[in-house]
Structure 1
Amino acid sequence: MNSARLLRAAGAAVLAATLLTACSDDGGSDAVPRDWIRKTYTPTGADWVDANSSPREVAKAIHSKRAALDRASGGSAEFLRYGDDMVTVSPHRGGSLIEIEDYRNGYHRHQRHLTYWPNPDSASFRGGGPGEGK
């Protein structure tokens, strides 16, 4: 009897691991390529830096790795929208600072540059997460 429970527990663990991998932060087609950013750029607290490239060059590289749903520019920064998140690439000490944040927070912070992006507080806004707005 114990081996049957052990077998069920092992099966449940494998299933859980599979689901977690499928739902990882780099999993969806509209998700920020976080793992790639972590491997490519230098961490600085919760953000990353590229000491040698302009915001436009960094945004282009990130967009090339995984196409953003939308892009915008303003105030010398570049903005990439990915489902429920956004990436802001701004000038930093001759290079670029890369920030990943929740779309709602990022939108409110940079709203003046994102004039045609959907307002996350509007009734018609649909985020990019699973089951959002359905």
Structure 2
Amino acid sequence: MNSARLVRAAVAAVLAATLLTACSSGGDSDAVPRDWIRKTYTATGSDWLDPDSTPSQVAQAIHSKRKGLDRASGDRKEFLRYGDDMVTVSPYRSGSLIEIEDYRNGYHRHQRYLSYWPNPDSSSFRGGGPGEGK
């Protein structure tokens, strides 16, 4: 009787661990590589700086670290779309300024350059974050 309880407890623990792993790992594949950006660039409040590289170079480095869902450019700025967020890389002095913001806010702020990206206010928009399509 004791061994049957032990087997049931072990099976329950394995199932719980499997479910937790499945639920927690799905959202990272389309997320902004925030930790990498924090480690790689110089923080300035809520943004980051690269003092030497162009916006195109910085956007390519970020995109190489984790491929975004889409990429656009305009007015010397680069835009990377990641699920519910976006990264804007703008010229700043001799380098670049990196901003991470909510997709909806960023889209409205820069929509003249993002003409083919989905409008977050449309009924067909499905973010791309955890739980998308469910």
State whether TM-score is above 0.5.
yes
In structure 2, the partner of 1:94 is: 94
Gaps of 5+ in 1: 1-10
SS in 2 for 1:89: strand
Write the letter of the residue equivalent to 1:89: V
In structure 2, the partner of 1:44 is: 44
Q: Is the 8 A contact 1:127 1:133 kept in 2?
A: no
The offset of 1:133, in angstroms, is 4.5
Q: Which has the larger radius of gyration?
A: 2
Runs of 4 or more off by more than 2 Å in structure 1? none
SS in 1 for 2:122: coil
In structure 2, the partner of 1:115 is: 115
Does residue 1:132 correspond to 2:132, yes or no? yes
In structure 2, the partner of 1:85 is: 85
Q: 1-side partners of 2:66 and 2:105: how far apart?
A: 22
Does residue 1:30 correspond to 2:21, yes or no? no
Write the letter of the residue equivalent to 1:106: G
SS in 2 for 1:120: coil
Write the letter of the residue equivalent to 1:109: R
Aligned residue pairs total 114
**TM-score, normalised to structure 2's length?**
0.80
Write the letter of the residue equivalent to 2:108: H
CA displacement, residues 97-117 of structure 1 (integer Å, 9 cap, x when unaligned): 000000000000000000000
Higher RCO (CA 8 Å, separation ≥ 6 residues):
2
Q: 2-side partners of 1:60 and 1:68: how far apart?
A: 10
Gaps of 5+ in 2: 1-12
SS in 2 for 1:72: strand
**TM-score, normalised to structure 1's length?**
0.80
In structure 2, the partner of 1:7 is: none
SS in 2 for 1:111: helix
The offset of 1:132, in angstroms, is 3.2
